[in-house]
Amino acid sequence: MSASSWLQLALYPVILLLLVRPLGAYMARVYTGERTFLHPVLAPVEQLFYRAAGVNSNAEMGWQGYALAVLAFNLLGWGVVYILQRIQGFLPLNPQGFGAVTPDSSFNTAASFITNTNWQGYGGESTMSTMTQMLALTVQNFVSAATGMAVLVALARGFMRRSARTIGNFWIDLTRGTLYILLPLAFVLSLLLVSQGVVQTFGSYQATPLVQPTVDADGQAVTQQMLAVGPAASQIAIKQLGTNGGGFFNANSAHPFENPTPLSNLLEMLAIMLIPAALCYTFGKMIGDTRQGWSILAAMTILFVLILGLAVWAEQQGNPALAAFGVDQAASSVQPGGNMEGKEARFGIANSALWATATTAASNGSVNAMHDSLTPLGGLAAMWLIQLGEVVYGGVGSGLYGMLAFVIVAVFVAGLMVGRTPEYLGKKIEAYEMKMAALVILLPPMLVLLGTALAVLSPAGRAGILNPGPHGFSEVLYAFSSAGNNNGSAFAGLSANTPFYNLALGVVMLVARYWLIIPTLAIAGSVVAKKHVPAGAGTLPTTTPLFVGWLIAIVITVGALSFLPALALGPVVEQLMMGM
């Protein structure tokens, strides 16, 4: 691998970590109601929203009220997204005249976008009108991300407050997260992406003459190509910042109109990880101990770097099957070498593997290379990051509250092993918190494995598998792993836009999102009512390198025990077959 590739791989985490503290501190000020540099402009708009919605900005909610507000808001969002797809043929801003999306696809897409999963069983430029892309999908990119951040903030208040009954107000947290954090960042990133050539227009698709005319499958002459355009930059910005991942175009960020240059590639990759990483510092600021946030971030970063190393190594090794056909896979001055199948030449191995690792670590799901074309071990790296529960950075808000469930388990297990009192941030960890944390950790693997089993056992599920053997199984396992952990990326060889997969994956996405939010808020409601217990000789320190290593061990152990048998049937056996 070239020195340039090594530099790009090293530069990415350095820039990311440098941005954590300033953005994290800013978000902490937003959620604690402190004044920021945007308040002179946005505070009147915020108050206008409250008055229009009838929200009392001084009222707070218990965890049950907070959970009901989350569910009610997201149910309304699902209905809006579903209806807009079904009636898009009658709405304006539909220059290509697209008709209604099918009921099963509409259900799946609505479930996907309200849950921050953004799984796409459709081709964006050939299915969704400009109105649907903006009013249904882009709006949900903002509010689904803001919902995850709000739940995290509520959990942080649970640990921060003492002997209290409330954990905040969902409507205020949702509004502030959208207005003060997501909108400004998306606006700036949109302008930067437009400067790099990402399209942003309300115009119709453009017919462009072909340099070399050809013929289609029916023998008819083809002299021009229809280029899809639209308001892409504004959607791409929030898709990355909100760890949404749903592309304006079917090829996602491998499409030159979504990701045209190396600089746009770097900006979009940074946006994927930016808020999830910075929220660790936000959490530390809100609870009054930034060391706690840094220790969690350290565990996430170590896991990320280790799995990134596996992905880069696997892709750089190349594919023996291609070597058998005389394909040159050696790195040289004219090519990056390695397995370039399914990758853009302008990004190469390093940036493709880095993006694949970042997008599956951060619950984003966007791609700049086709994951179905990764080597078996490269695909395993991406898939296992999803299966860990998307807690290595993870989605905005959801990644950190998922990791905090692992922290609770780590503290409890360590306490049992050495006879110390299970405490975290001055709050005793008891049976109730452990039960709720267990739900957060174990429900996604259960959904993934049951969904995969149903698909491979049923004729409707097997009908969508286009590749035989272990790779076909990997495609199904990846699909349900992606749906059950709010990712949205896919192994593209699976024909998933069928009634079976649209309904099955849609149900998994809904259950995985909201059955995790409810126990997370239940933990917040439990710990907020507890008194603060001063640290003593029996308290386990949670900011030491030892605890960081213990937390990593817990995450890896749960992931291995849950998915190693399934991975052995897919990418592991495929790797062994490839080496034969």
For 397-450, write each residue's pLDDT tens digit. Answer: 999 999 999 999 999 998 888 777 789 999 999 999 999 999 999 999 999 999
Residue 33, burial from CB neighbour count under 10 angstroms (0-12, 13-18, 19+)? exposed
For 77-91, write each residue's pLDDT tens digit. Answer: 999 999 999 999 999
Residue 392 pLDDT greater than 80, yes or no: yes
Domain boundaries, the chain: 3-210+226-578
For 9-60, write each residue's pLDDT tens digit. Answer: 999 999 999 999 999 999 999 999 999 999 999 999 999 999 999 999 889 9
- Name the band, by pLDDT with cuts 50, 70 and 90, for residue 6: confident
- Cβ neighbour number for residue 508 with a 10 Å cutoff: 27
Both tokens of 139, joined, read 């709006």
Q: Which residues pair with 494 in a beta bridge?
A: 465
Q: What is the pTM of this model?
A: 0.94
Kindly state the helix (H) or strand (E) to which residue 504 belongs, with its residue range: helix 499-528
Cα-based torsion angle of the residue sequence 432, 437, 240, 169 in order, rounded to the nearest 10 degrees? 0
For residues 361 and 487, give the distance between their C-alpha atoms in angstroms, rounded to a whole number.
Answer: 9
- Is the distance from CB of 418 to CB of 387 less than 8 angstroms? no
C-alpha closest to that of 570 among 465, 446, 447: 465
For residues 294 and 297, give the distance between their C-alpha atoms in angstroms, rounded to a whole number.
Answer: 5
Q: What are phi and psi of 379, to 5 degrees?
A: -65, -35
SS3 384: helix
Least confident of 212-226, 253-267, 339-353, 501-515: 212-226
C-alpha closest to that of 491 among 509, 506, 475, 502: 475
For residues 474 and 467, give the distance between their C-alpha atoms in angstroms, rounded to a whole number.
Answer: 10
Amino acid at 49: F
Average pLDDT over residues 357-382: 93
Across the chain, what does the average pLDDT equal?
92
Residue 182 pLDDT greater than 90, yes or no: yes
The separation between the first and the last C-alpha atoms of the chain, rounded to the nearest angstrom, is 25
C-alpha closest to that of 200 among 172, 174, 230: 230
- Residues comprising the chain, all counted: 580
Please identify which residue in the block is written with the tokens 């909108």.
Answer: 183
For residues 31 and 425, give the distance between their C-alpha atoms in angstroms, rounded to a whole number.
Answer: 19
Least confident of 153-157, 320-324, 358-362: 320-324
Please identify which residue in the block is written with the tokens 């405490």.
Answer: 423
For residues 383 and 572, give the distance between their C-alpha atoms in angstroms, rounded to a whole number.
Answer: 12
- Is the distance from CB of 383 to CB of 391 less than 8 angstroms? no
Residue 501 pLDDT greater than 90, yes or no: yes
Residue 169 pLDDT greater than 90, yes or no: yes
Average pLDDT over residues 100-112: 96
Average pLDDT over residues 503-512: 96
For 220-239, write each residue's pLDDT tens digit. Answer: 888 888 888 989 999 999 99
For residues 542 and 506, give the distance between their C-alpha atoms in angstroms, rounded to a whole number.
Answer: 38
For 486-496, write each residue's pLDDT tens digit. Answer: 999 999 889 98
- Name the band, by pLDDT with cuts 50, 70 and 90, for residue 346: confident
Give the contacts of 18 (CB within 8 A, at least 6 positions apart). Answer: none
Please identify which residue in the block is written with the tokens 């596996």.
Answer: 310
Q: Is the dihedral of CA 381, 386, 389, 395 positive or negative?
A: positive
Q: What pLDDT does 73 receive?
A: 97
For residues 263 and 269, give the distance between their C-alpha atoms in angstroms, rounded to a whole number.
Answer: 10
Q: What angle do CA 479, 501, 95 make, to 5 degrees?
A: 100
Residue 68 pLDDT greater than 80, yes or no: yes
Strands 221-227 and 206-215: antiparallel
> What would the DSSP string read from start to end of 181-210?
IIHHHHHHHHHHHHHTT--B--PPPEEEEE
Report the percentage of the chain scoring pLDDT > 90.
77
Average pLDDT over residues 356-363: 94
How many angstroms separate the Cα of 15 from the Cα of each of 126, 171, 270, 281, 544?
Answer: 37, 33, 8, 16, 24
Q: What pLDDT does 298 receive?
A: 97
How many angstroms separate the Cα of 496 from the Cα of each of 120, 420, 448?
Answer: 9, 49, 15
C-alpha closest to that of 120 among 259, 252, 256, 268: 252
Alpha helices per DSSP H over 39-102: 39-53, 63-86
Q: Give the DSSP letter of residue 252.
A: G
CA 480 to the chain's CA centroid? 14
Residue 353, burial from CB neighbour count under 10 angstroms (0-12, 13-18, 19+)? buried
Amino acid at 292: Q
Report the percentage of the chain scoring pLDDT > 70.
99
- Name the band, by pLDDT with cuts 50, 70 and 90, for residue 580: low
Residue 498, burial from CB neighbour count under 10 angstroms (0-12, 13-18, 19+)? middle
For residues 312 and 565, give the distance between their C-alpha atoms in angstroms, rounded to a whole number.
Answer: 24
Please identify which residue in the block is written with the tokens 């074309």.
Answer: 373
For residues 519 and 409, give the distance between their C-alpha atoms in angstroms, rounded to a whole number.
Answer: 14
Give the contacts of 39 (CB within 8 A, at least 6 positions apart). Answer: none
Q: What pLDDT does 114 receive?
A: 96
For residues 32 and 431, give the distance between their C-alpha atoms in angstroms, rounded to a whole number.
Answer: 30
Both tokens of 344, joined, read 């853009």
For residues 201 and 198, give the distance between their C-alpha atoms in angstroms, rounded to a whole number.
Answer: 10
Both tokens of 200, joined, read 């942003």
- Is the distance from CB of 147 to CB of 401 less than 8 angstroms? no
For 555-573, write each residue's pLDDT tens digit. Answer: 999 988 999 999 999 999 9
Q: What pLDDT does 379 receive?
A: 94
Q: Give the DSSP letter of residue 208.
A: E
- Is the distance from CB of 198 to CB of 232 less than 8 angstroms? yes
- Is the distance from CB of 348 to CB of 265 less than 8 angstroms? no
